[in-house]
Amino acid sequence: MNDVIAVKRRLIETLSEAASKAQEMGKLPAVALPEITVEHPPNSGHGDYASSLPLKLARATGSNPMAIAREMVGLMAPAAEIASIAVAPPGFINFTLKDDWLTRQVDGILAAKDAYGNMTIGQGTRVQVEFVSVNPTGPLHVGHGRGAILGSTLANVLAAAGYDVTKEYYINDAGNQIDAFYRSLYARYQQAFGIAAGVPANGYVGNYMIDLAKEIIAEEGNKFLTLPEREAIARLGEIGLKKMIAQITSDLELLGVTFDVWFSERSLYQGGQYEKAMSLLKQGGYIAEKEGATWFESTALGEDKDNVVVRGDGSPTYFAADIAYHYNKFLERRFDKVINIWGADHQGHVSRMKAVIGALGISPERFKVIISQMVTLRRGSELVKISKRSGDLITLREVIEEVGADACRFIFLSRSADAQMDFDLELAKKESMDNPVYYVQYAHARIASIMKFAQQDQMDFSDGDVSLLTTEPELALIRKMVLLPEVIEVVTETMEPHHLAYYAQDLATVFHSFYKQCRVVSDDKVLTRARLKLVQAAKSVLARTLTLMGMQALEKM
């Protein structure tokens, strides 16, 4: 187990033992102990860890919290890594870490290298993160980028926490939308040859469809003109679909987002999973025929309304496909946990999918949906349209090319998924010099520069004595570095990657402050070696944090 996490666990244990002992001795009424937690006090003057257990016990026992705190502290065996335990009003117990324990962590971080922060809390649990999964009927826009960044970062963190992670993209390559896409493409194809064909009413009218048709013509010529319409649409559509998927793939790669599995909706029908899932629900008595269609009776499960799974014309709905897909995730591929990141427009889909999960006999805590809220794109005060159906749209690719992948990632990671946000292109660019993105990367580049400078003197610091790191700026830096494992733990528990961005910024801040106050390479060779160790460790933690966020750790800026 990681050292800091171990310390935290030990403190909780110490508190628990002290409380029990006080009860045994009759100094504290024998009430059930509340869940014991330790936190980081907001004010650093109060130490590294604090517990409000006495305050909580005061409520349960009706006694004075300060007295309880004193009693408990008196019963605590001093832990090896703790320098002092103090009681503070109105009833906190504060713990301060020993300086030499802190400085030793520098050696620990250097030894862990890229693996620093890794944990085993996941215990190899098989978790699937499904994200983006945009219909391959048009290019990605910024909103999709948000989900992509959220998902890939979450996957990185879960992997660091010891989960066995599969990143997956669900390709909706069947159904009405694909049909509309195929027909729209066929119309544009015909138009390119001067044939008066109309894009269907519910079709995709964007200019990219004209470009797509032209691209196909350049490669395939006019051969689809002579085919029967049915066949032409199918074959042309297939080519267009492949191209759209390729484009989506490469757009995501620009953002540093990749997937382990690209899962085809069609395969659900070809593999018989759709039938299996449906018959399972039927067996459970959740399926009913009415009004000429087949329904999933979710009202019986507390839902607002029932939902159609098979239309009057016999074709399955999107909902039916998703049922089959989740049947596949849980019952065929047997993921222990499934995390879906959906756009805000899918929020109505959440509760009925939860109902399905229950109906399939899957325990609800294995299924988690994160809704990534809307992004509105603007240039200053001017609103920029990103609708797929309209002609003028700014694609994700254009945004990335304009502001940069790292800036994009950081901006999205600085906000919690359930807050709607404005993405101001002007601001993202104008701020580019003062952007927190560069602030963090600059800290890393600065250290790289120090290392390079030190290397000119062939400085070997492998025997640096970390116990010489005794000043406030040095210890403050270590205190922050040592927090990464906890951040990873928090992100894992809350599924909120944005904590990482704030941590990155905090870490950069303490580093920059340290840098200003402490000269690393100096005439004092012994101190220099110790500080080189410190700075090298800081570089490693910064790099790890940036990597988890999917960002570059630059050597030079």
Partner RNA sequence: GUCCCUGUAGCUCAGUCGGACAGAGCGGCUGCCUUCUAAGCAGUUGGUCGGGCGUUCGAGUCGCCCCAGGGACGCCA
Interaction with RNA in 13-52: which residues (CB under 7 A)?
A: 35, 37-43, 45-47, 50, 52
The residues in 120-159 that bind RNA, with binding defined as CB under 7 A, are 135
**Rounded Cα gap, residues 412 and 424, in angstroms:** 12
Among 118, 373, 547, 552, binds RNA (CB under 7 A): 373
Between 238 and 457, whose beta carbon lies closer to RNA?
Answer: 457
Q: Cβ 328 to RNA, closest distance in Å?
A: 16
3-class state of residue 307 by DSSP:
strand
CA dist., res. 491 & res. 422, Å (int): 24
Site for RNA in 471-490 (CB under 7 A): 490
For residue 318, state whether it binds RNA (rule: CB under 7 A).
yes
Dihedral (Cα; 59, 61, 63, 68), 10-degree rounding: -90
CB atoms within 10 A of CB 246: 11
Please state the closest distance from residue 241 (CB atom) to RNA, in A. Answer: 13
Q: Does residue 521 touch RNA according to CB under 7 A?
A: yes
Phi, psi of 189 (to 5 degrees): -60, -50
Beta strands in 389-522, from DSSP E residues, in sequence order: 421-424
Burial label for 387, CB within 10 Å (0-12, 13-18, 19+), is exposed
Site track for RNA across 390-409, x = CB under 7 A: --------------------
Cα separation of the two ends of the chain? 36
Of 17-25, 159-167, 230-238, 370-378, the window that binds RNA (rule: CB under 7 A) is 370-378
Is there a contact between 403 and 425 (Cβ–Cβ < 8 Å)? Answer: yes
Nearer to RNA, 53 or 190 (CB): 53
- Which residue, 98 or 512, has its beta carbon nearer to RNA? 512
The only residue of 118, 505, 547, 552 in contact with RNA, by rule CB under 7 A: 505
| Residue 74: C-alpha distances to residues 16, 28, 57, 84, 126 (Å) | 13, 13, 16, 12, 45
Smallest distance from the beta carbon of 468 to RNA, in angstroms?
15
Number of shown-chain residues binding RNA (CB under 7 A):
96
Q: Of the listed pieces 106-114, 383-391, 392-400, 500-508, which binds RNA according to CB under 7 A?
A: 500-508
Specify the residue, 220 or 238, whose C-beta has the smaller distance to RNA: 238
> Pick from 467, 392, 395: which is nearest to 425 by CA?
395
For residue 438, the minimal CB distance to RNA (Å) is: 4
Stretch that binds RNA, among 218-226, 236-244, 266-274, 495-503 (CB under 7 A): 495-503
Among 28, 56, 206, 298, binds RNA (CB under 7 A): 56
By CB under 7 A, the residues from 67 to 126 that bind RNA are 88, 90-92, 94
Exactly one of 126, 349, 368, 429 binds RNA (CB under 7 A); that residue is 349
Using alpha carbons, list the distances in angstroms from residue 256 to 2, 153, 168, 278, 288. Answer: 29, 10, 15, 37, 45
- C-alpha dihedral, 410 to 412 to 418 to 423, nearest 10°: 140
- In the complex with RNA, which residue's Cβ is closer, 220 or 493? 493
Task: Tell whether residue 418 is a contact of RNA (CB under 7 A).
Answer: yes
Rule CB under 7 A: say whether 312 interacts with RNA. Answer: yes
Between CA 400 and CA 256 the distance in angstroms is 11
Q: How many CB atoms lie within 10 A of CB 343?
A: 18
Candidates 498, 533, 539, 544; binder of RNA (CB under 7 A) is: 498
Give min distance, CB of 155 to RNA, in A.
Answer: 19
Q: Report the candidate in 519, 245, 505, 554 with the shortest Cα–Cα distance to residue 405.
A: 554
Task: Pick the binder of RNA from 9, 59, 113, 282 (CB under 7 A).
Answer: 59
Judged by CB under 7 A, the stretch of 122-130, 182-190, 380-388, 414-422 that binds RNA is 414-422
CA–CA distances in Å: residue 31 to residues 35, 60, 61, 63, 548? 12, 7, 7, 12, 43
**Side-chain-side CA neighbours of residue 91 (13 Å):** 17
Near RNA by CB under 7 A: residue from 229, 453, 470, 472? 453
- Give the nearest distance from C-beta 85 to RNA in angstroms: 12
Decide whether 245 or 308 has the Cβ nearer to RNA.
308
| DSSP letter assigned to residue 45 | G
In this structure, the number of other CB atoms found within 10 A of the CB of residue 159 comes to 17
The residue written with tokens 């005061």 in the block is 58
Residue ranges in 249-288 that form contacts with RNA under rule CB under 7 A: none
In the bound state with RNA, the residue whose beta carbon lies nearer, of 121 and 344, is: 344
Whose tokens are 């966020």? That residue is 549
Stretch that binds RNA, among 77-85, 215-223, 311-319, 387-395 (CB under 7 A): 311-319
Q: Counting contacts by CB under 7 A, is residue 289 touching RNA? A: no
Dist CA 424 CA 261 (whole Å): 33
For residue 388, give the nearest of 136, 38, 139 by alpha carbon. 139
Show the binding pattern over residues 163-202: x = contacts RNA (CB under 7 A), - = does not: ---------x--xxx-------------------------
Residue from the set 311, 333, 378, 379 that interacts with RNA by CB under 7 A: 311
Examine residue 304 and tell whether it contacts RNA (CB under 7 A).
yes
217-256 binders of RNA (CB under 7 A): none
Using the minimum distance from each CB to RNA, give the nearer residue, 341 or 508: 508
- Quick check: 298 binds RNA (CB under 7 A)? no
| Secondary structure class of 542 (helix, strand, coil) | helix
**DSSP per residue, 328-390:** IIIIIS--SEEEEEEEGGGHHHHHHHHHHHHHTT--GGGEEEEEE--EEEEETTEEE---SSS
Q: Closest separation between CB of residue 267 and RNA, Å?
A: 15
Q: Which of 313, 365, 381, 458 binds RNA (CB under 7 A)?
A: 313
Kindly tell me which residue out of 20, 351, 547, 552 binds RNA, with binding defined by CB under 7 A. 351
